[in-house]
């Protein structure tokens, strides 16, 4: 009988934002950082339009772009898995999305345990507040955006709502949408696992 799969509970918080925007997720311990990037994109409702980077100690992980890294060595995000990081004692690290807006996320590994065989992973656990819109201008731009969209009398209100594509409630996390987006990540992972197992079958 195979041992139960291990999962990692991670708390993810956007820095420089108050009140705090945060998420807690459970993911397989063998997930690589590219897979974790997909999870973060899903639960913060980012659209994956921009580059990303994990900063772990002195190392950077992302999607290497020769000639565009300005002398920095960026390792591929698929080359590091959570299990290896945890084995090295990593408990905290950072994820940066959209180098223009500069969205920095602080990640804390809270626990490692056995997966529940009745559940599918990655899994959303809890969190608070809606993630900022894409291309809003980073934390300062988001602060100004909130000043406008929460004040219908503001002269730029209609323009901001039209740009957003509808009303924006910063307190409504949009739980149904986040779970739907994460379900897509789970489905892609399950298909990948099935294809991998199929490729290992004797012919």
Residue 137 predicted with pLDDT over 70: yes
Mention every residue, 6+ apart, whose C-beta is less than 8 A from residue 6. Answer: 28, 29, 30, 83, 112, 113, 114, 115
Exposed e or buried b per residue across 97-135, where buried means at least 16 C-beta atoms within 10 angstroms of its C-beta: bbeebebbbebebeeeeebeeeeebbbbeebebbbbbee
Identify the pLDDT of residue 192.
60
Identify the pLDDT of residue 61.
97
d(CA 61, CA 1): 35
CA distances for 133 relative to 63, 67, 76, 142, angstroms? 23, 30, 27, 8
Percentage of the residues of the chain whose pLDDT score is greater than 70 = 90
Quickly state the pLDDT bin for 158 (edges 50, 70, 90). Answer: very high
- Whether the full predicted model's pTM is greater than 0.85, yes or no, is yes
User: What are the counts of helices (DSSP H) followed by strands (DSSP E) for the chain?
Assistant: 5, 8
Identify the pLDDT of residue 203.
60
Q: Residues 88-132: pLDDT tens digits?
A: 999 999 999 999 999 999 999 999 999 999 999 999 999 999 999
113 or 2: which leads in pLDDT? 113
d(CA 185, CA 193): 12
On whether the CB atoms of residues 74 and 157 are closer than 8 A, the answer is: no
Quickly state the pLDDT bin for 189 (edges 50, 70, 90). Answer: confident
Q: Domain residue spans in the chain? A: 6-130+173-200, 132-172
Q: Is 38 helix (H, G, I), strand (E, B) or coil?
A: helix
Quickly state the pLDDT bin for 188 (edges 50, 70, 90). Answer: confident
Residues 144-156, mean pLDDT to the nearest whole number? 96
Residues 131-153, mean pLDDT to the nearest whole number? 96
Identify the pLDDT of residue 63.
93
Domain at 6-130+173-200: CATH code = 3.10.290.30
């Amino acid at each position: 009988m195979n041992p139960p799969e291990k999962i990692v509970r991670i708390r993810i918080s956007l820095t420089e934002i108050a009140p705090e925007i945060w998420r807690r997720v459970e993911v397989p311990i063998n997930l690589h950082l590219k897979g974790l990037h997909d999870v973060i994109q899903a639960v913060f409702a980012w659209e994956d339009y921009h580059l990303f980077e994990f900063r772990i100690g002195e190392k950077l992980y992302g999607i290497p772009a020769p000639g565009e890294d300005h002398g920095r060595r960026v390792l591929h995000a698929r080359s590091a898995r959570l299990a290896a990081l945890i084995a090295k004692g990593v408990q905290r690290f950072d994820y940066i999305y959209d180098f223009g807006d500069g969205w920095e996320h602080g990640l804390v590994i809270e626990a490692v345990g056995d997966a529940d065989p009745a559940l599918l992973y990655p899994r959303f656990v809890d969190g608070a507040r809606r993630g900022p819109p894409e291309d809003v201008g980073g934390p300062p731009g988001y602060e100004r955006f909130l000043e406008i969209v929460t004040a219908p009398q503001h002269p730029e209100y209609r323009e901001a709502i039209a740009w957003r594509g509808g009303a924006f409630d910063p307190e409504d996390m949009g739980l149904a949408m986040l779970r739907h987006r994460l379900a897509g990540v789970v489905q892609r992972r399950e298909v990948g696992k099935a294809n991998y197992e199929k490729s290992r079958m004797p012919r």
